[in-house]
Chains A and B, each alone.
Chain A
Amino acid sequence: MSFNSIVMVKQVPDTANISGQVMKEDGTVNRAKLPAIFNHEDRAALELALQIKDKFGGKVTVITMGPPRASDILRECLYMGADEAYLISDRKFAGADTLATSYVLSEAIKYIGNYDFVFAGRQAIDGDTAQVGPQTAEKLVIPQITYVEEIVKVQKDKVTLKRKIDGGFEVLESTLPCLVTVLKDALFPRPFKARRVMAYKNAKTLLELEKMTEGNSLLYIDQLKDEYLHKGWYIHTLTMDDLKLDESRCGVHGSPTKVHKVESVVLTGGNHVMVPPTKEGISNLIDHLMEDHILG
């Protein structure tokens, strides 16, 4: 009894740790300067997939849709223990909302095939929507179990999971295959394995291999790809055409939601009355609040 998992991961701007360096003078955040990181909840999702592999055997495949540099997090997945990685990348995917993203990811999952579980983090910290998981499950026509904290039991064709709900938790039993979204606090992702880092730091996407051949007439891309595949260093790279996707459902065209307006939140400023921290100051403040019927 072994189980194959596909894990959806995302590279995100680090919106949680806003330091002074990324602040503009007007008090807003310079988004271009935020460092790109591995979305935490996706890392927890990978951990869950690896635990199932450790226990039952099977294969763990990671996929991400993103720009070429998103290969960074795919290498990190390989360091942790993933068997294979896919970068789904195409300029035509730019501007995708969750509906268009889930279309591309679901088609990539169908292309890879042969899976029992699809895992993803509950949500990514740049959008916090939690929509791509359920929307991918709907397109794959499989059950979704969101907000999962723990896998209780895995049997031949079903899984028992504990998930968070408002005010408590519930335990569900689902048939396989199913899509599971994972909460960050549920699991502590394993560190990189030194041996795997040594091996997979060389792992490269097709785009990165193409870069290596540029200006080097001795290298042929097909040969290079074969060599990397053979060594297990190849990060599969798929475009819109590779997946035979409907362009009208990708990127901006396939996205029903549009950003109409963006306002930066200003962190400075504000008009407030300074109250001296003295007995008198506080006494006056209380008087004032009592007069306004806010206190007392």
Chain B
Amino acid sequence: MNKINNDVWVFIEQRDGTPADVSFELLSKGRKIADNLKSELKAVILGDKVQVLATQTFQFGVNEAIVYDHKDLAHYMTLPYSRLLSKLVSDEKPRVMLYGATVIGRDLAPRVASFTKSGLTADCTDLQVSDVNYLRKDYKNLLLQIRPAFGGNIIATIISPDVQTQMATVREGVMRMEKLDKPIEGRIRNIEYVADPIDSLVKLIEQHRKENKVNLKAAPIIVAGGYGMKTKENFALIQELANVIGGEVAGSRAAVDAGFIPSERQVGQTGVTVRPKLYIACGISGAIQHRAGMQEANKIIAINSDPDAPIFGVAHYGIVGDVMEIIPRFINEFKLKLR
């Protein structure tokens, strides 16, 4: 009989052998959850030549890396990955299983959750462990899965009280990646990959990926423009301000849709979540979808001509006025002080 356990698992996503940041972010969170549950943190890795990657996970507190290392698993493919993971989860019954809310994670997790009849919550922005009283029943140490819903208009806390495995996909960039001062002496458990006819029902013909050169998540200062910038020419001011103060340029969904800025620089629910030291929002009204991606910035300056714009609700400093006048003023004043 399989023993029921409290282990916390994280699916480690790799592309051409490079781990996704979100996977390590989840290990850092997973370590805390495992400590809470007094259990082990395990990383599940599928890929080709991934032994080094397995040892990397120990820096984030992994007790055991479960590894399928085979050339046929080099690229993520739904059927073999979900088949192997479904079997593993069915056999070993972890208490918590986390995936990044990436295209891969959102393709894989539901298939595994369906097979194992686990609870699955999508796109979480926070995870906590707590005792819960639900419908007059007490549950110990449940995973609270917190996510925006209804287009971001509500924040829901989801629980999966009556199943063994509580699964969640978690948005990129919302958990902090924290290396341990001293890595754990973890172990690697290699499992042999045995192909199944199902694995080859879908074949990869070609793949094109441009590694994102823009790394908004790591930028300490971000200057973002919205639809209020009105034209692409005006948007150049955003770039100028960013250059002067040493920041990265970003935009709201509306600015991306209007063609002011490429989509890889979009901040918000469908873009990147950022938490820079300073975020300057220029001509951004502050729809909830945008605010979801930036409201945790250390300091937020909002510049908008509409004093009632919702962006002021999350700002630390508000400047009401015409962005086309205020940004040049900001640039001038800053340059004067640098002298």
Contacts and interface: CB of A to CB of B under 8 A. Distances in A.
A267 B325 contact: no
Contact of B150 (A13, A167, A296): A13
Contacts of A277: 319-322, 325-326, 329
B207 interface: yes
A167 B60 CA distance: 26
A287 B207 contact: no
B215 interface: no
Contacts of B217: none
Interface string A245-268: 000000000001111111111111
**How many of chain A's residues touch chain B, expressed as a range?**
35 or more
**How many of chain B's residues touch chain A, expressed as a range?**
35 or more
A15 B151 contact: yes
Given A170-B204, A172-B205, A258-B134, A295 B334 contact: yes
A237 to B, nearest CB: 26
Interface string A214-233: 00000000000000000000
Interface stretch (B1-9, B65-73, B101-109, B181-189): B101-109
A15 B152 CA distance: 8
Contacts, number: 241
B101 to A, nearest CB: 9
B113 A131 contact: yes
Contacts of B325: 277
Chain A CB within 10 A, most for which of B79, B298, B313: B313
Chain B CB within 10 A, most for which of A16, A144, A260, A279: A260
A205 interface: no
A258 B113 contact: no
Interface in B278-327: 278, 288, 298-299, 301-302, 310, 312-322, 325-326
B118 interface: yes
Nearest to A290: B337
A258 B158 contact: yes
Given A135-B110, A279-B329, A260 B120 contact: no
B206 A258 contact: no
B205 to A, nearest CB: 4
Q: State the main secondary structure of chain A at its contact with B.
A: mixed
Interface string B198-212: 000111111111111
Chain A CB within 10 A, most for which of B122, B210, B298, B320: B122
A195 interface: no
Q: State the main secondary structure of chain B at its contact with A.
A: mixed
Interface stretch (A48-56, A65-73, A77-85, A158-166): A158-166
Contacts of A129: 110, 122-123
B231 to A, nearest CB: 21
Contacts of B107: 134, 144, 146-147
B245 interface: yes
Chain B CB within 10 A, most for which of A125, A134, A146, A274: A134
Interface string A108-140: 000000000000000001111111111101110
A28 B317 CA distance: 24
A189 interface: no
24 contacts: A15-B153, A31-B153, A98-B120, A125-B151, A128-B123, A130-B110, A134-B111, A135-B110, A143-B79, A160-B205, A165-B103, A171-B207, A174-B202, A256-B118, A258-B134, A261-B156, A262-B157, A263-B154, A263-B156, A270-B315, A274-B319, A281-B319, A286-B330, A286-B333
Interface of A: 13, 15-16, 18, 28-29, 31, 97-99, 102, 125-135, 137-139, 143-147, 160, 164-175, 178, 256-270, 272-277, 279, 281-283, 285-287, 289-290, 292, 294-296
